[in-house]
Structure 1
Amino acid sequence: MAASYELKASARDRVGKGAARALRREGLLPAVIYGDKKPALPITIPVKETTLTLHKGGFLTHIGTIDVDGEKHRVIAKDFQLHPVRDDVLHVDFLRVAKGATLTVEIPVHFLNEETCPGLKKGGVLNIVRHTVEMNVPADSIPEALEIDLAEAQPGDSLHISAVKLPKGCEPTITDRDFTIATIAAPAGVQETDEGEEDAAESGEEAESE
């Protein structure tokens, strides 16, 4: 189950770019809590603690608690805005999470046994088609990652969502096809050799027929 975090916050009544800049000078970030059929709640959160939480990883897949002036809100971060040059956090959108809710979340993909993968040891290249997979998941048991085992993957293999053992209650939002997550691209030299052998074989067959 995904880890949780808690941030202290205060309600804010001023909105707009000028107010946001003033908050950042005070070490605070503008943010908003929305969803669960309740009015949006503009808040301020501390820059330092929010940045540390973000850099721990899994910010968009972890359930958190926002303490707004003593009232606690169960949330998940749905989006955040970064400064285009400095990568400073500028704004965060939080979604309220009701007990027993199902969420749509981008779950990261982790690959196991890359160092022993026969396809990679033979010179193949891991071509990742999807670094994350959009999933419908229970709010109380969001998986940290989907795991794909490369222990037996060979050059030319395609690894599909059907090869992933999905956690209980979790399903991809795409259900109409067995989509590809990654492939093991065969080494270029092997491909060229195979093509050369085929050409030679065809030439030999043509000579025999003459």
Structure 2
Amino acid sequence: MSNVFEFVAESRGQSGKNAARRVRRTGSVPAVIYGGHAEPQMLVLSHNEVIKHLAHEAVYSHVLDIKVDGKTEKAILKGVQRHPAKFQILHMDFLRVNMSELVKVHVPLHFINEQASVGGKKGGIVTHGMIDVEVSCLPTDLPDYIEVDLSGLDVGESVHLSDIKLPARVEIVALAQGSEHDHPVASMMASKASKDDAAA
């Protein structure tokens, strides 16, 4: 975790939809930080700063510094509500973390060697069943992303959750629930062109 993301916030005393609307009218983002061993706290963040942070993929799988009225807390981003039509962040949820306790976070998947794969060289097309995966680990072990190597994938084959090589001390939450949750992450399908070649 080389990057450090700091969200500078101010506390807001009021909660509810009307209070949130007032915050948005000032060009700010209403938010809440909860969990840990403290009461939920309503926050106000700068919309421009939020947009800058959210442009980085890693912010969704990082332990963040939330600086509220001069005091810094560790947290992860648990939810972002966006306007359906406008380029606007409507609300954010942060979950406090204890650096010695396990956290569950969705981490992006990065697929590599698609074109160089066995099936890719035959003209196959990769379809992705997932773009991220929920993992469980200590905050200090939280990866920015997880690589999925497709080099050995042939046409008609799939890569499942259990096939992913994980960083040390990181577990996939779904796999802990049983083998029936070992879902496909990516599959190699024959393209129309490759089918036509085979028929010829």
Partner of 1:167: 167
Higher gyration radius (CA) = 1
Q: Could you state the TM-score of these two structures normalised by the residue count of structure 2? A: 0.88
Partner of 2:80: 80
Q: Could you state the TM-score of these two structures normalised by the residue count of structure 1? A: 0.84
Q: Which residue identity lines up with residue 67 of structure 1 in the other structure?
A: K
**For 2:171 and 2:37, how far apart are their aligned partners in 1?**
25
Contact 1:76 1:94 in 2 (8 A): yes
**Which segment drifts farther, 77-86 or 24-33?**
24-33
Residues paired across the two proteins, number: 196
Pairwise CA RMSD: 2.1
**For 1:108 and 1:121, how far apart are their aligned partners in 2?**
26
Identical-residue share of aligned pairs (%) = 33
Partner of 1:21: 21
Aligned-pair CA distance for 1:191: 5.3
Aligned-pair CA distance for 1:60: 2.1
**For 1:190 and 1:59, how far apart are their aligned partners in 2?**
40
Q: Which runs of 5+ in 1 are unaligned?
A: 198-210
Contact 1:2 1:141 in 2 (8 A): no
Contact 2:5 2:59 in 1 (8 A): no
Aligned-pair CA distance for 1:62: 1.2
Partner of 1:185: 189
**Which portions of structure 1, spanning 4 or more consecutive aligned residues, are displaced by more than 6 angstroms?**
none
Contact 1:2 1:63 in 2 (8 A): no
Contact 2:61 2:145 in 1 (8 A): no
Partner of 1:201: none
Contact 1:12 1:44 in 2 (8 A): yes
1:149 aligns with 2:153: no
Aligned-pair CA distance for 1:37: 2.8
Q: Which runs of 5+ in 2 are unaligned?
A: none
Q: Which residue identity lines up with residue 184 of structure 1 in the other structure?
A: M
**For 1:5 and 1:108, how far apart are their aligned partners in 2?**
17
1:60 aligns with 2:57: no
